[in-house]
Structure 1
Amino acid sequence: MAPHSEVENERDIVRLPAPEKPRMSKSPPRLIIIGAGSRGHAYAKALGEATNGICAAVVEPITYKRQALGRAYIWGDDGQPAAGQEFEDWQDFVAWEEARRAKQTAGEDVPEGVDGAFICVQDELHKSVIIGLEKLKIHIMCEKPLATTLNDCIDIYKSLLPSDPSKPPERLFSIGHVLRYSPHNMLLRKLLLEDKVIGDILSVNHTEPVGWWHFAHSYVRGNWRKESTSAPSLLTKSCHDIDVLLWLLSSPPPNSPLPRHLPSNISSLGARQFFNKHRKPAAAGSATNCLSCPHEPDCMFSAKKIYTGNDLRGLGSGNTGWPVKIVLPDIEDYLATGGQAAGETAILKELAADYDANTPADEISKKNWFGRCVWESDNDVCDDQVVTMTWDNDDNASASDGRGPKIAQFHMVSFTAKICERYTHIYGTTGEIYADSNCITVTDFTKPTRPLDARKEAAFESKKFYPHLAGGGHGGGDAGLARQFVLAIDRVKRGDDLVTAQREELGCSIEEVVTSHAVVFAAEEARRNKVVLDFPEWWKREVALK
């Protein structure tokens, strides 16, 4: 805990149980995974462990990845894919599903179809897949971010609206803002907005510690290193942090008739502060790849250490998952046939790949270079960024509605020991909260635990809440989102109102999805132009009028 949040007398500790896995229905929801990368695997795993749904099919162009996900979650190690269980391309799936429906209409016996899709392809492909699936009218969960440009987000939003504005939506839609669905954050929101344990919120400081070597893997050497081929790191890494802040500070509590209380002003500062040529150690000389660098044995960013060593999550530690599998997807095959030495040799071969001044730019940008020197890469995204949002008073609300002035600061920082273990300070009118992804500590200013003494710091009653630490990613958020998405589909299949299922199970509308992404794009504009943006005016100009 941060020193200024420590308290002398912690009277109560509350430990909360895990959410129960929903019971299977007579006709359980069937889901297809589109994209068999790490996020596709995360949701496929969550389907089996935390939901009452079935992983029914997979779309993936890379044969090894497709078959690995299928063996793990669909047809089993000893089975073979049946018709309709695997596809190389999402367009192949659409064509197959249209043909299946036509045969079913003609009275033929056909395999069951799917009710929904988890879209886990690369970010820049989200728009084409979402719009391409529109004709099937299946429910969609799209991994974050929704898209890599604001215009694409708006186009997706328009595609999801009913053709007749007087009618409700025809399909459920969810986004991979998994932080909303972790047991920790769901409890945090209840404590703040429903129980009001610290009164009205006045100020929030929220930090995402990315982790120094995680940032080097994903945002210097990996898929998300360049804005031109991906998007700003604030969008690709931290859009769900911005979303969770808006969920806590803008979205009204359950059953409230009030509209969202949106920020008034947004500003941001950030840059690529460390991962650039100016920071390159002199001992590295002209080397551009770790395997040929004289400084490699002493370098903390050594690709050899990160991916084959035993100090982090390299192969030497016994890990064959992320990030090792990202470098070499078929690592298990090498280990099975040739043991540890064969696996390490295969990884080092991948790491040795490099480019020079004569390599075409498009060839450089279309693949990852995990052995590349972190100071010689083509990365350009921020490795440190701060976003500030302020809210004006809502003059149409009463004092008890919690819609007064407030400020929130978000910090995405790469140089941390923690990897994505977020922590948050929230300051209210009657208390404060410190939350660290594990424990929520509530300190109550109205309950001193000793007489006030000018010679000592005041001490106040506090309570610690320990939400269930779920397995999987994002503190159980992956499983939580999958569970709620499938529950919503199940309700619709059983005849419940779609709008009600969207609100009660997913708790997030497509309008909220677009708004949280818009705040990210607004923050990026503010950072690039070094200005403070009037958000309502920006929204009117960039979103509402389009």
Structure 2
Amino acid sequence: RPCTAIILRHGGRGGLYGYYATQMPDPLKIVGVAEPLEYRRTACVNNHKIEAANTFTTWEHVFDRPKFADAVIVTTQDRMHYEPTMRALEMGYDVLLEKPIAPSWKECNDILKLAQAKGRIVGVCHVLRYSPFNVQIKAVIESGMIGDVVSVQHIEPIWHLHFSHSYVRGPWRREDLATPSLLAKSCHDLDLINWWMDEPVKAVSSFGGLRTFHKRNAPAGAPRFCMDGCPHRESCIYHAEDVYVNKKRWGTHHIETPDRSEESIRSKLRRGQYGQCVYQADNTVNDHQVVNMLYRSGATAAFSMEAMTSYGGRRTRIMGTKGDIVGDERYLDVATFNDEKRIRWDVEATGQDLSGHGGGDQRMTA
């Protein structure tokens, strides 16, 4: 029979995992939901034909009931991961937990210890481990083709518009409301590097800051909200009405309104967080950060998280004693020193579904 699960918060990630359940009903069936927004809760109920008794407004109400599923999918905001995960484990549920695990080491350790004590599974949604491209990198390293890894260079170019939406205007804009941007966005990458390396880290150094999306860079005369007659509208690429409505440069899923019409979105932009000038918002998280790691073997890794790029898509270079790897999430180039052989692998030529983190979302859910 399929694994039965309850979704705690039917937002972007919870909705996506629910969607995969409708596409793959044999391994996964959604039987409950907790969602405070009525229109999202109703959508989940309709999508999965959830009984009224298994439909809740907040996650706390789920645990007022005796255990009625195999697992709980925790897709609440970052700072709301810990409590529902602990409650689920206490009641004997397995947990699929959206990354990052929790904001503090203590909370992460508490979850680990309780899962071990209860004999339950906590699967963390480090979905990039499941994408065909990254799986292939792991396979090349393990094959010995490039020898022992000497060093890794890895960059996540977030794309400036993506960053302005999620980390300047959006839910992950402030550390006190969510987590640092390195944890919220790039724990994927730090996890990947350590998965590829497969050995303990001996030392870490890190530097970063908030350079671009800051009040000191606000154009003269710009109002706090874009739609209050900003004199720089024609020249500003971040004007909210253009980004979300007129030019549709970014999606509106995070803008909470049951009416998805353009006028309703505009109304939310007039005084809502997504309508703020990107240089005058209350964001605090870094828009650039570097992390350097020294491993037990003496190998090193250098990671860079960058908001201010014109493109997205991770870039990776791995240097070994017998060859090297260069990758950009589509092409994987492997070169070996002794025979000067070069191999190019194109993940798109495999014909696989690469949507959702390069195909990682669907494969992890399955």
Q: Which position in structure 2 is the counterpart of 1:439?
A: 331
CA 1:433/1:331 → structure 2, altered by over 3 Å: closer, same or farther? farther
Query: Are 1:304 and 2:241 counterparts?
Result: yes
**Cα distance in 2 between the residues matched to 1:386 and 1:139:** 35
> In the alignment, what sits opposite 1:208?
156
Q: 1:88 Cα deviation (Å)? A: 1.3
Within the candidate set 466, 474, 485, 2:357 is matched to 474
User: Structure 2 CA distance, aligned partners of 1:472 and 1:216?
Assistant: 22
Q: Please say if 1:40 is aligned against 2:9.
A: no
Partner of 1:178: 127
**136-145 or 152-161, which deviates more:** 152-161
Counterpart in the other structure of 2:217: 279
Contact kept? 2:331, 2:344, Cα under 8 Å = no
What is aligned with 1:61?
Answer: 36
- State the shift of 1:353 in Å: 0.4
Note if 1:117 corresponds to 2:93. Answer: no
Do structure 1's residue 325 and structure 2's residue 253 form an aligned pair?
yes
Change (3 A) 1:462 1:187: closer
| Residue of 339, 344, 349 corresponding to 1:463 | 344
1:291 alignment partner AA: M
Residue in structure 2 matched with residue 244 of structure 1 by the alignment: 192
Q: Are the counterparts in 2 of residues 143 and 176 from structure 1 also a CA contact under 8 Å?
A: yes
Which amino acid in structure 1 is aligned with residue 357 of structure 2? H
Q: Which residue does the alignment assign to 1:416?
A: 309
SS in 2 for 1:224: coil
Q: What letter corresponds to residue 187 of structure 1 in structure 2?
A: Q
Aligned to 2:107: 152
8 A Cα contact 2:146 2:320, kept in partner = yes
Using the TM superposition, give the Cα deviation of residue 60 of structure 1 relative to its aligned residue in structure 2, in angstroms. 0.8
Contact 2:153–2:318 (8 Å) recurs in 1: yes
Opposite residue 82 of structure 2, the aligned amino acid is K
Q: Measure the CA separation in 2 of the matches of 1:461 and 1:212.
A: 34
Following the alignment from structure 1 to structure 2, what is the Cα–Cα distance between the partners of residues 290 and 384?
25
Alignment of 1:53-202 (within 5 A): 53-72=28-47, 74-75=48-49, 81-98=50-67, 113-162=68-117, 170-193=119-142, 195-202=143-150
Which runs of 5 or more structure 1 residues have no equivalent in the other structure?
A: 1-26, 76-80, 99-112, 163-168, 251-260, 314-322, 333-342, 355-368, 394-404, 449-459, 484-546
Question: How many residue pairs get matched?
Answer: 362
The structure with the larger Rg is: 1
Contact conserved, 2:88 with 2:94, CA < 8 A, in 1?
no
Greater Cα shift, 226-235 or 149-158: 149-158
CA distance in 2, matches of 1:245, 1:123: 22
Give the SS at the match of 1:370. helix
CA distance in 1 between counterparts of 2:177 and 2:292 reads 27
SS of structure 2 residue aligned to 1:447:
coil
2:338 and 2:244 mapped to 1: Cα distance? 51
**Residue 300 of structure 2 is aligned to residue 351 of structure 1:** no
* Rounded Cα–Cα distance in structure 2 between residues aligned with 1:43 and 1:197: 36
Partner SS for 1:208:
strand
- Report the Cα distance in structure 1 between the residues aligned to 2:133 and 2:222, rounded to whole angstroms: 47
Residue-by-residue CA offset, 1:442-485 (whole Å, 9 max, x unaligned): 1122223xxxxxxxxxxx433324255424411111111111xx
* Structure with greater strand percent: 2
Q: Which residue does the alignment assign to 1:337?
A: none
Q: 1:277 to 1:91 in 2, by over 3 A?
A: closer
Matched with 1:360 is none
- Aligned residue in 1 for 2:291: 387
- Give CA-to-partner distance per residue, 1:416-444, whole Å, 9 cap, x none: 2223x212111111211112112211112
1:246 and 1:372 map into 2 onto residues whose CA distance is: 37
Q: Aligned-pair distance for 1:330?
A: 2.6
Q: Distance in 2 between matches of 1:139 and 1:409?
A: 35
Secondary structure at the counterpart of residue 63 of structure 2? helix
Residue type of the partner of 1:373?
C
Q: 1:237 to 1:49 in 2, by over 3 A?
A: same
User: 1:46, 1:59 → 2: CA distance?
Assistant: 18
Q: How far off its partner does 1:329 sit?
A: 4.2
* Aligned mate of 1:269, from 207, 213, 232: 207
CA–CA distance in structure 1, aligned partners of residues 254 and 123 of structure 2: 26
Inter-partner Cα distance in structure 1 for 2:86 and 2:16: 24
- Does structure 2 conserve the Cα–Cα contact (< 8 Å) formed by 1:289 and 1:352? yes
CA RMSD in angstroms comes to 1.8
Higher relative CO (Cα under 8 Å, sequence separation at least 6) belongs to 1
What is the SS of the residue equivalent to 2:338? strand
**Contact between 2:31 and 2:51, CA under 8 Å: does it hold in 1?**
no
Structure 1 letter corresponding to 2:264: A
For 1:408 and 1:204, the matched residues in 2 are separated by 4
TM-score (normalised: structure 1): 0.64
C-alpha separation in 2, matches of 1:434 and 1:331: 46
Q: CA deviation at 1:183?
A: 1.5
Using the TM superposition, give the Cα deviation of residue 266 of structure 1 relative to its aligned residue in structure 2, in angstroms: 0.5
SS at match of 2:152: strand
SS at 2:254's partner residue?
helix
Change (3 A) 1:329 1:443: farther
The match for 2:227 among 253, 274, 291 is: 291
List runs of 5+ in structure 2 lacking aligned partners.
none
Is the 8 Å Cα contact of residues 115 and 121 (structure 2) preserved in structure 1? no
Task: Specify the SS of the correspondent of 2:359.
Answer: helix
Give the aligned partner of residue 322 of structure 2: 430
Q: Name the CA shift for 1:35/1:311 in 2 (closer, same or farther; >3 Å).
A: closer
SS of aligned partner of 2:201: coil
Which residue of structure 2 lines up, in the alignment, with residue 219 of structure 1?
Answer: 167
Residues 84 and 96 in structure 1, CA contact (< 8 A), matched pair in contact too: no
Distance 2:32 2:19 in 1: 13
Give CA deviations for 1:223-271 in whole Å, capped at 9, x if unaligned. 1111122111011111121111110112xxxxxxxxxx21111111110
Normalised to the residue count of structure 2, the TM-score between the two structures is 0.94
Q: Give identity over the alignment, percent.
A: 32
The answer on whether the counterparts of 2:325 and 2:334 sit within 8 Å (CA) in structure 1 is yes
